[in-house]
Amino acid sequence: MRFTKPRDLLAAGLIAGLLAHLLLRLAYDTLPPLPTFAGFTLLVIAVVDLVLAFSLRARIQRRPGTAPVQPLTAARAVALAKASSLLGAIMAGAWAGVLIYVLPVRGEFEAADHDLGSAIVGVVCAVALIGAALWLEHCCRTPKDSRQDG
């Protein structure tokens, strides 16, 4: 398993952003207003990732008073981190597509002013999820063994 590369996240975000922007160009006037805190769920997942990261980091570094991490637990945490970072990238792209669409049309549609706030909350929460997921993935790296020669 390889660690997440920024270009993979960027590609997923760009594709999601283009699709969201295209969908809005085609059907924005028929859509209901977006909930202001629709992206807040991403922040909840980010907090879970952060708590898990700090817990696992201490255990992987074998700090005193912590139980060692089972390999399967670490593998599951890495899988969660990879899925979370991909979800964050897709949602950041989608919310950025909404943001790019609603900024210029605020005068044309009443809902665009409201949706601007929703898009900002969504982008911020998605970026927080990406950061937390990448930190979790980083915390699951195997430490270098200082007992090895050379």
pLDDT in tens, 103-130: 998 888 778 888 999 999 999 999 999 9
Query: In the chain, pLDDT over 90 holds for what percent of residues?
Result: 63
In this prediction the pTM is 0.89
Whole-angstrom Cα distance, residue 69 to residue 21?
43
What's the confidence (pLDDT) of residue 148?
A: 52
pLDDT in the model for residue 149: 46
Query: 32 versus 10: which is more confidently predicted?
Result: 10
Q: Which two tokens stand for residue 56?
A: 């696992």
Between these two residues, 69 and 20, which has the higher pLDDT value?
20
pLDDT at 150: 46
d(CA 64, CA 58): 9
- Mean residue pLDDT of the chain comes to 90
At 146, the pLDDT band (50, 70, 90 cuts) reads low
In the chain, the amino acid numbered 106 is R
Mean pLDDT, residues 60-72 taken together = 84
The CA angle 57-9-4, to the nearest 5 degrees, is 40
Tokens of 87: 């979800």
d(CA 7, CA 1): 17
